[in-house]
A and B are shown apart, each in its own frame.
Chain A
Amino acid sequence: MKKFAVGPKLAAAVLALFVVGCAKEPPPPPPAPAPVAAPAPAPTSQIIPGSAEDLRVNVGDTVHFEYNQYSVLDADKATLQRQAAWLAKYPGIKVTVEGNADERGTREYNIALGAKRANAVKEYLVSLGVSSARIDTVSYGKEKPICSESTESCWAQNRRGVTVIASGANS
């Protein structure tokens, strides 16, 4: 693993997080694109460190929220701690946190709620030492669902904050 300069406190935190990270089931990867011709999909071991895929697969890009709430859940704090550590490791990367809501709200209200969720994720990352200048936010309200059934399980998946790379990724 590449060496990087961190204070002892943060290094300890990172170490602790890796333990948590291993115990926790990683979020399911998004469905693969339809197979085109020959080349087999790259095995996970070939994920480029500091890439969008690294963030999505190895760190975890998504946290979830309770109905009509925007506080970061205890269960998701480990994911955000991994994100903060990863961002510390790749200081050239800037991210956008996308706030999303389920369909059970009116359009404008959900846009406002998504903004509160994105901001809550941002504030948590900032509290872990990530510069606020590296984190932008955007709300999609209920416009970008990842699950279209009208069920509690789908709504829970759609109530989410997703950290995506805005610039500076390795590729």
Chain B
Amino acid sequence: MRKFASVLIALAAMALSQPASAALQVDVNQGNIQPLPIAIPDFVAPAAADAAAGQNIAKVVRADLERSGLFKPLDPKSYIDQISNINVAPNFQNWRVITAQGLVTGQVAMQPDGRLRVDFRLWDVYGESQMLGLQYFTQPTNWRRIAHMVSDAIYQRITGEKGYFDTRIVFIAEAGPPLKRVKRLAIMDEDGANPSFLTNSYLVLTPRFNPTAQMIAYMSYITGKPRVTLFDLETGRSEKLGDFPTMTFSPRFSPDGNLVAMTLETAGNSDVYVMDLRTRKSTRLTYDPAIDTAPSFSPDGKQIVFESDRGGSQQLYVMNADGSNQHRISFGEGKNGTPVWSPRGDLIAFTKQAGGQFGIAVMHPDGSGERILSNGWEDEGPTWAPNGRVLMFTRTIRGGRGSQIWSVDVTGRNLRRVATPGDASDPAWSPLIQ
């Protein structure tokens, strides 16, 4: 099932000149930034047979960087120069004329052993220096992954933050009329490419990746008795998690992948439990007669944020991973639910219901600094990019007119719809693929 063969990266001694003092950079923390103009010509293919690969890789890199909202890839038609040899310094003046501040040059070449070799260099057009040079070897069918890895390397070199393009999204693919909705487990690359269905037509909800992106925990109605279920991407097999007499739902892996926090309903009452995947023993963490659900671990695994209406309305609470020290952290307007702890640890994203609207918001784990990132008829269920800078969520259109996946920068900028094959909901972002 796993499509990705290993990719060799050579941090080759490719520098033609000394690395520049980082003149070319994007400060991702500024509230309002101008996207950085960057030129990414098609990668050079010394053998005509490799030309398509060179064009495809450059196209995916341009799309990745544009989608981030931090870069403005320039129209290739505006280029004055053609790149024919990536081992000589470009004519910087001709790239400055078209307003490029960054320039990516690359080359693809099929090797005698059947692997594809991809080289690229990132240039600071004004500093007239090379910022980065990398080399990859991979199976030719892997060219999309190489393109995403090139995008990640450029993003990291210029922003100082790790990229998130070489990732996948597991989600619920929706089809059919509003009253007869079919929901299937599906997976795709972060840019919407390579979509595939993982389950047949029965109700499934709320999928989440484990930290190696090899396992998905989700809620399945396949037996008529809804239970948390594990899907192994390697084997394509599903397995009910645990043997509970009543409903289990809202699963979430611990950062080390050994535990699954979830909700167990007993006689109508929902409480948070943790199951150890090694021993299959479960531990109850909450004992309140109110609704306790939607647990999410802090990145150090020591705390869990969850939602509860024990105080009279749905709000966010934090507890230690053993269930001790349960305390409310959300005190703002409205109701707050579906919390997810950022992989960086600094923020918790959640769904805010106030004034007849559902929006995505973030706050610090102590409840301070609440900021609204999106507002819609029904925006809900955020998930974090592995670098903690971008969120995806479900946007449901009023009047039963379907669900879509949207993304937004943690600053609130760059709100845009994510390409999906048809209606989609409940996205979960994978870690960077290993």
Q: Interface of A with B (CB < 8 Å)?
A: 70, 103-109, 111-113, 115-116, 118-120, 122-123, 137-141, 143, 145-150
- Chain A residues within 8 Å of B398, by CB: 150
B contacts with A: majority SS:
strand
- Interface residue? B329 (CB, 8 A): no
- Chain B residues within 8 Å of A112, by CB: 249, 263, 265, 270, 291, 293
- Interface residue? B381 (CB, 8 A): yes
- Interface residue? B236 (CB, 8 A): no
Q: Which residues of chain B (297-327) have a CB below 8 Å from chain A?
A: 307, 309, 314
Q: How near does chain A come to B234, taking the closest CB pair, in angstroms?
A: 28
Whether A119 touches B267, Cβ cut-off 8 Å, given contacts A109-B294, A146-B179, is yes
- Interface residue? B250 (CB, 8 A): yes
Q: Would you call B179 and A107 a contact (CB within 8 A)?
A: no
From the candidates A103, A108, A146, name the one contacting B249 in the complex (CB within 8 A): A108
From the candidates A107, A113, A139, A149, name the one contacting B400 in the complex (CB within 8 A): A149
From the candidates B267, B293, B400, name the one contacting A108 in the complex (CB within 8 A): B293
- Chain B residues within 8 Å of A120, by CB: 268
Q: Would you call A109 and B314 a contact (CB within 8 A)?
A: yes
Q: Would you call B337 and A108 a contact (CB within 8 A)?
A: yes
Most buried by B among A107, A141, A146: A107
Q: Would you call B337 and A106 a contact (CB within 8 A)?
A: yes
Q: Interface of B with A (CB < 8 Å)?
A: 178-179, 181, 183, 203, 205-206, 219, 224-226, 247, 249-250, 263, 265, 267-270, 291, 293-294, 307, 309, 314, 337-338, 351, 353, 358, 377-378, 380-381, 396, 398-400, 426
Q: Give A149 to B265 CA distance when docked, in angstroms.
A: 30
From the candidates A116, A143, A150, name the one contacting B205 in the complex (CB within 8 A): A143
- Chain B residues within 8 Å of A106, by CB: 294, 307, 314, 337-338, 351, 353, 358, 380-381
From the candidates B205, B247, B399, name the one contacting A107 in the complex (CB within 8 A): B205
Q: Give A112 to B380 CA distance when docked, in angstroms.
A: 16
Q: Would you call B380 and A139 a contact (CB within 8 A)?
A: no
Given contacts A109-B314, A119-B268, A120-B268, 11 further A-B contacts (CB under 8 A): A106-B314, A108-B249, A109-B291, A109-B309, A111-B205, A118-B268, A119-B267, A122-B268, A138-B224, A148-B178, A148-B400
Q: How near does chain A come to B181, taking the closest CB pair, in angstroms?
A: 7
- Chain B residues within 8 Å of A138, by CB: 224-226, 247
Q: Give A120 to B351 CA distance when docked, in angstroms.
A: 27
Q: Would you call A148 and B268 a contact (CB within 8 A)?
A: no
Q: How near does chain A come to B245, taking the closest CB pair, in angstroms?
A: 11
Q: Would you call B377 and A108 a contact (CB within 8 A)?
A: no
Q: Give A16 to B399 CA distance when docked, in angstroms.
A: 41
Q: Would you call A143 and B338 a contact (CB within 8 A)?
A: no
Q: How near does chain B come to A62, taking the closest CB pair, in angstroms?
A: 15
Whether A145 touches B178, Cβ cut-off 8 Å, given contacts A107-B206, A108-B293, is yes
Most buried by B among A70, A108, A143: A108
- Chain A residues within 8 Å of B358, by CB: 106
Q: Give A119 to B265 CA distance when docked, in angstroms.
A: 10
Q: Would you call A149 and B399 a contact (CB within 8 A)?
A: yes
Q: Would you call A143 and B183 a contact (CB within 8 A)?
A: yes
From the candidates A104, A107, A146, name the one contacting B426 in the complex (CB within 8 A): A107
Q: Would you call B181 and A143 a contact (CB within 8 A)?
A: yes
Most buried by A among B179, B226, B268, B353: B268
